[in-house]
């Protein structure tokens, strides 16, 4: 219902099966894993950062923490 107010209700996909891993999500969407994006959120004190990256890439917390300093 929330996304209807923004005209985005058709952009949200819900699955009965799990899509917790890159491979599962790619299988559910019938795409290659490189087409899956990860959204990572980091919080430090009153600051936060949201990162969207290719699912095949990895993030290390120490390098992300330095972004808040």
pLDDT band at 31 (very low <50, low <70, confident <90, very high): very high
pLDDT attached to residue 47 = 92
Tokens of 66: 């330095």
- Arithmetic mean of pLDDT, 56-64: 57
CA distance 23 to 69: 34
Pick 41 or 54 by higher pLDDT. Answer: 41
Pick 45 or 67 by higher pLDDT. Answer: 45
Whether the predicted pLDDT of 41 surpasses 80: yes
Q: What percent of the chain has pLDDT over 90?
A: 17
Instruction: Give 42-50's long-range contacts (Cβ < 8 A, gap of 24+).
Output: 42/67, 42/68, 44/68
């Amino acid at each position: 219902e929330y996304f209807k107010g923004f005209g985005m209700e058709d952009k949200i996909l819900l699955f009965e099966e799990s899509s917790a891993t890159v491979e599962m999500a790619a299988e559910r969407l019938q795409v290659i894993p490189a087409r899956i994006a990860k959204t990572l959120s980091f919080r430090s004190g009153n600051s936060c950062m949201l990162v969207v990256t290719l699912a095949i890439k990895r993030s290390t917390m120490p390098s992300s923490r330095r972004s808040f300093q």
